[in-house]
Structure 1
């Protein structure tokens, strides 16, 4: 993992440019930007969209090598610009779940990819982490993203997880309403669509 330190000016430059403007990563965390006043959210969206188009694949890779703030931000930028060339890497990072919060960004990116391979990555993640009732990772974001994709793709991948007495009902997320999670992901993806159209 690369940290933004004076010993790593390349990483520091990318972090300063893409994470730190107006503490962007804090607004991406949990989708906090959706609670911003309309005017501020619009400006945030314009700046986020510009960064998503401007950042190079090399800079994104560098951020994905970093700590959770870097990974979270990189994944959002990847999702907004739909850079599916990062699909395999995000798949592995989601399944590994090494760092807190960054999985939120991976789930958002897969929701934005809006295809069967993205759904397969979310299914693999839920298969791995839902069976452990003590595991509070990003299963809520993954379920929201999977339900979002099921609607878009006209599939029913989430159905087996949500069956009565199924994995969801026995998981650490059993108190969360899957349809509310879907609506939250719908809102994030609608925001992304609006700022890129």
Structure 2
């Protein structure tokens, strides 16, 4: 991870893309609670920045902290830059820090191919075996369900079987809120992906 004080380029990118209006805090479920005119302004600005940011700038943000990585993943999702698929999958699987994993899941869900399903499957296969590590398992499962339902594949079925890894993980996790249920996280992913698509199709 690169810190802002270690990189002459990163602070300018943070000021340009990450911190205006505390954007990084709103990217996620919180954006669904925004009301007009804030909602319209937020969506329009995110869509514009997603079109303007360069691949090099995205790479730099993805080397930063969770705020930078979360913002970069959302800009990637909105602009549908599938060339970042493997990098997002690597970051999700590494789970080096909290706060960004859900954004990786949203981006992979917006791409929506079998390759994205495989990356989400790899994450779940590793981390559903680790009930001591409560990272982004619920949102990753929601993203996998979203992708596989659209594709008509069965990637998620083994996890949701009565003796599958999802139920085993739940049994060993001390507190799993209702919001983490597969149906709830699937609904959340649908709304977040719809928002990303909306931002990406807004006129400049």
TM-score of the pair, normalised by structure 1:
0.94
- Identify the structure with bigger relative contact order (alpha carbons < 8 Å, sequence gap 6+): 2
Contact 2:138 2:181 in 1 (8 A): no
Alignment partner, residue 4 of structure 1: 4
Alignment partner, residue 73 of structure 1: 71
Alignment partner, residue 148 of structure 1: 146
After superposition, residues 1-197 of structure 1 pair within 5 angstroms as: 1-5=1-5, 8-28=7-27, 30-171=28-169, 172=173, 175=177, 176-197=180-201
Where in structure 1 do 4 or more consecutive aligned residues deviate above 3 Å?
172-175
| Count of matched residue pairs | 195
Q: Name the CA shift for 1:88/1:135 in 2 (closer, same or farther; >3 Å).
A: same
Give the superposition deviation at 1:39: 2.3
Structure 2 stretches lacking a partner, 5+ long = none
Deviations 1:132-152 (A, max 9, x none): 122200111111111110121
